[in-house]
Amino acid sequence: MGKRVFVEISETECIVTPRKKAPRRLKLAQSVPKEAKLKEGNPQEAPSPTKSLGSKILAHTPSRMDDIREEQERRFRVAVCQSTGAILRAVLPFSDLPKAEIYAYHAVQHYFMYRSFRHTNFQVATLTAASKALKDSGSALSEDDLIEELRAQHSGTEAGLEVYPQEVREEMALLEEHMKSWDGNTRYVDLLSTVEDGMNQLLQALSKEDLKAVTMLALKEKAQDFAVNAMLGPASLVFRPEALAAVAVAMGARWIFRELQDEILKQILQDKSPEFQQEIRQAMKEVLLTLRTGFG
C-alpha cells in the first residue's frame, strides 16, 4: 500500500509522523473539559456556501458545539483513524487490511457525530472502531485481543491503559445503533470492489489492456490506498460509495499515468449524469481537503 501516517495515541495526545518528516505532536482534548487546551472556535457560525459538503456536516457536530474548530476536529479524526489502523495492522494479515481499514475509518466518522472530542477517551474510541471493523469483516478476533495489542503498544511508555472489554462492547452497541439509523450500516461494504470495477473500466477506455501485470498491480494498490485514505475524513458521511470509488480510481490512475492527467478525469466523468459528475467533483474536493489536513 502507499504511504500512510503513523500515529501514537494516548488519552491526552497523539504523535503524528507524516511520511519521513519528524514527528508532529497534536494535543488532544482531555476527558475533563476544564483541562482541555483547545482554542475556541465559533460553532454557531453558518457555513459558507463555498465550503465543502464535509465542512457543512462538521459544522454541527458535538465537538463544534464544544468550541473545537473544524481544522482541529479534522486532525483529530485523522489521528484516531490512524491509531485504529495501527492496531489493525498489528493483528490482521496484509491482505485483509484495506477492507478492515475502510470499515474502521467509516466507524470513526460516525463515532464523532455523537461524541465530542472534548469528552472522549481516545483509547476507547480507537478500540471501538477497530472492534467494529473486525466484526464487519468477519474476523474471529475479539475486544480482548485488541486491548492486549494496545497494551503491548503502550508498554514502556508513560501513557496508562484503562480500558475494559465491556466498556468497548457498550460503546460499539451505541455506534452500531447510530450507523444503522444513519445509512443502514452497509454503504461501504463493497467500496473496494467498486474501485476495482472502476479501475477496469478506466483501463479499457484508455486502451491500456496490454499493461504489464506489475503496472496493473501498482494501479490497484494505489487506487485502494486512495480509497482507504478518503475515509480519514467525513467524505463517507456525505457521498455515495460510487463517487468515492471514482475519486480513488482517478487519483490512483493520475499517480500512475502522469502523462494522462486530463484524459483520466475526462474518461471517469464520461457517460455520467451531470448530477453524478458534480458529486464526483465535490467528493474529490473533500478528499483532497482531508489529505491536506492529515498529511500536510
pLDDT tens digits, 195-205: 888 888 887 77
- CB neighbourhood size of 169 (10 A): 14
CB within 8 Å of 281: residues ≥ 6 apart: none
Q: Are both 78 and 32 inside the same structural domain? A: yes
- List the grid coordinates of 135: 466484526
How high is the pLDDT of residue 296? 63
| CA geometry: angle 83, 87, 93, nearest 5 deg | 135
The residue among 80, 98, 254, 279 whose CA lies nearest residue 191 is: 98
Q: Is the pLDDT of residue 155 over 80?
A: no
> Residue 153 sits in which domain range?
5-183
Q: Domain total for the chain?
A: 2
| Cα separation, 107 vs 105, whole angstroms | 5
Q: Is the pLDDT of residue 192 over 70?
A: yes
Q: 153-159 long-range contacts, Cβ below 8 Å, gap at least 24?
A: 153/8, 153/86, 153/87, 153/90, 154/10, 157/10, 159/10, 159/11, 159/12
Q: Are both 50 and 118 inside the same structural domain? A: yes
How high is the pLDDT of residue 23? 35
| Cα separation, 219 vs 149, whole angstroms | 32
Tell me the per-residue pLDDT of 117-140, one tens digit each, with 9 for 90 and over. Answer: 998 888 899 999 999 999 988 888
How high is the pLDDT of residue 235? 93
Q: Are both 165 and 202 inside the same structural domain? A: no
How high is the pLDDT of residue 258? 76
Q: Are both 218 and 147 inside the same structural domain? A: no
How high is the pLDDT of residue 199? 83
Mean pLDDT for all residues in the chain: 78
Q: Which helix (H) or strand (E) holds 9?
A: strand 5-9
Last residue of a domain, one of 126, 148, 183: 183
Last residue of a domain, one of 159, 183, 207: 183
Q: Is the pLDDT of residue 266 over 90?
A: no
| Cα separation, 17 vs 20, whole angstroms | 7
Roughly how many angstroms between the first and final C-alpha of the chain, as a whole number? Answer: 19
Q: Are both 151 and 38 inside the same structural domain? A: yes
CB burial class (10 A; 0-12, 13-18, 19+) of residue 173? exposed
How high is the pLDDT of residue 170? 92
Q: Are both 123 and 252 inside the same structural domain? A: no
Q: Between 10 and 86, where is the model more confident? A: 86
How high is the pLDDT of residue 42? 40
CB burial class (10 A; 0-12, 13-18, 19+) of residue 162? exposed
pTM here is 0.78
For helices 191-205 and 241-256, angle between their N-to-C axes, nearest 10 degrees:
50
- In 48-92 the beta strands, taken as DSSP E runs, fall at none
**Mean pLDDT on 159-178:** 82
- In the chain the beta strands, taken as DSSP E runs, fall at 5-9, 13-18, 24-27
The percent of residues in the chain predicted with pLDDT above 70, rounded, is: 75
Which domain CATH number covers 127? 1.10.472.10
The one-letter amino acid at 63: S
Give me the torsion for CA of 78, 82, 83, 89, rounded to 10°.
170
Which domain CATH number covers 245? 1.10.472
